[in-house]
Amino acid sequence: MIKSIRTADTKNKRVLVRVDFNVPIENGKVADDTRIMATLPTIRYLIDDNAKVILVTHLGRPGGKKVAELKLDPVADFLSEILGKKVLKSDESVGPTVKKAIDEMNFGDVILLENIRFHKEEENNDPEFAKQLADLADTYIVDSFGTSHRKHASTYGVSKHIPAYAGFLMEKEVLTLTELMKNTPRPLTLIVGGAKIDTKIGVIKNFLNKADYFLIGGGLANTFLAAQGYNMGKSLFEPEKIELAREIMMAAEMFRDKFILPEDAIVSDKAEKNTKILDLPVTDIEGDMMVLDLGVKSREKFAEVIAMSKTIIWNGPMGLYEKEPFEKGTLYIAQAVSEATQAKTIIGGGDTIDAIKNFKIRLNKFTHVSTGGGAMLEFLEGSPLPGVEIIMG
């Protein structure tokens, strides 16, 4: 059973809410608001309940240091506008100044703490740091499904000190994904791409006995191609994961035609807009070349598999979709998945959703759109997620 926010003691209380406001910021403004909008039901509920709403999130990967561009002021401004009330912004995440600000704020008001990853203690799940965070509040609401696979102070450690409950977004994600996984018609196809190779590659391994087809693209595919011995030139890949990639491919040997890597790729020597490109077989990559998108043959092959699948799980863009002309592979796959009306389609991930929105493909064309990328994959694969564990009772 999920411990729901509805059963939490929040009225006239100080409530710490872990949200996932890891949103793209461009020119000092929030460029995509999907994740913020998704948590509004929880925030509004707490305002109506006359709680002191204390929001905590990370933004980007500052690596335990203050990074000016990753401060949360643009997010506080955006949230103030949406809520139609001033959201306070604290320049610190914990400590006496934060405590004082919370003491002085009115019930029914909202405060946003500074980027929690400015403290290295966050990702280390430092117990003392978690205690300091917990000391700011009476109740802890988790509404950041996208970070559930992380055992950090703000996503997990706080629960050791004050009672944890699921916010509305969290509850909906866990219920919907659980329901969807009860019935997964075959063939089940897993499409994975993107850049966070270190976290995603392990998930693929765990899916080996669950999925029928694997379509691997994006930066992730480069690591597998490198593991097959191909020269990847200057492409994004993870040398330390080559051994693991090799292991996975050995295990996948059994179903040869079902573990599908790109056979061709869009390459360039510059990861820049409107630069010169070539579509080459993966055997011909060398020198300064970077693999930046799925080649045309690979797109067609992937689409064929998509068209005959009955369940499709997709996380991670197929290329550097932010920059033309490298968006085309991701667009092709997004269209194929959105047109796969014969299948249950579950997609997730900040960039994956961002790409689909840029392409103007309607999100209601998919069975479920998750705010989680890595978290969604790990949940679907059946791993216990620390952030979910703490809201189960």
Catalytic residues: 35, 196, 350, 374
Q: Helix, strand, or coil here: 143?
A: coil
Q: What are phi and psi of 90, to 5 degrees?
A: -100, 135
- DSSP-derived secondary structure for 154-191: TTTGGGGTS-EEE-HHHHHHHHHHHHHHH--PSSEEEE
Nearest distance in Å: CB 352, ligand ADP: 4
Q: Which stretch binds ligand ADP (CB under 6 A): 82-90, 161-169, 194-202, 297-305?
A: 194-202
Among 202, 295, 316, 387, binds ligand ADP (CB under 6 A): 316
Site size for Mg ion (CB under 5 A):
2
Q: Which CB atom, from 75 or from 221, has the smaller least distance to ligand ADP? A: 221
Q: Which stretch binds ligand ADP (CB under 6 A): 129-137, 255-263, 320-328, 334-342?
A: 320-328
Which DSSP state fits 7? G
Residues 351-370 that bind Mg ion (CB under 5 A): 351
Nearest distance in Å: CB 98, Mg ion: 28
Residues 348-377 that bind ligand ADP (CB under 6 A): 349-352, 373
Q: Which CB atom, from 167 or from 218, has the smaller least distance to ligand ADP? A: 218
219 binds ligand ADP (CB under 6 A): yes
Q: Helix, strand, or coil here: 374?
A: helix
The one of Mg ion, ligand ADP, none whose footprint includes residue 262, by CB under 5 to 8 A per kind, is: none
Rounded Cα distance, 234 and 221, in Å: 14
Q: Which stretch binds ligand ADP (CB under 6 A): 48-56, 206-214, 251-259, 347-355?
A: 347-355
350 binds Mg ion (CB under 5 A): yes
Which DSSP state fits 2? B
Q: Exposed e or buried b for every residue in 87-105, given b needs 16+ CB within 10 A?
A: bbbbeebbeeebeebbeeb
Q: Which stretch binds ligand ADP (CB under 6 A): 37-45, 253-261, 313-321, 331-339?
A: 313-321
320 binds ligand ADP (CB under 6 A): yes
20 binds Mg ion (CB under 5 A): no
- Residue with the two structure tokens 């009330």: 85
Among 40, 105, 181, 236, binds ligand ADP (CB under 6 A): 236
82 binds ligand ADP (CB under 6 A): no
The one of Mg ion, ligand ADP, none whose footprint includes residue 114, by CB under 5 to 8 A per kind, is: none
Q: Which of 157, 57, 29, 197 is nearest to 115 (CA)?
A: 57
Q: Which CB atom, from 350 or from 386, has the smaller least distance to Mg ion? A: 350
Peptide bond into 262 cis (omega under 30): no
Q: Kindly state the helix (H) or strand (E) to which residue 41 belongs, with its residue range.
A: helix 40-48
Rounded Cα distance, 199 and 55, in Å: 26
Q: Which of 385, 389, 377, 386 is nearest to 202 (CA)?
A: 377
Q: Helix, strand, or coil here: 197?
A: helix
Q: Which CB atom, from 157 or from 350, has the smaller least distance to Mg ion? A: 350
Nearest distance in Å: CB 321, Mg ion: 11
Rounded Cα distance, 126 and 186, in Å: 43
Which DSSP state fits 28? T
Nearest distance in Å: CB 370, ligand ADP: 10
16 touches 46 (CB < 8 A):
no
Chain residues that interact with ligand ADP, rule: CB under 6 A: 193-196, 218-219, 236, 291-292, 315-317, 319-322, 349-352, 373
Chain residues that interact with Mg ion, rule: CB under 5 A: 350-351
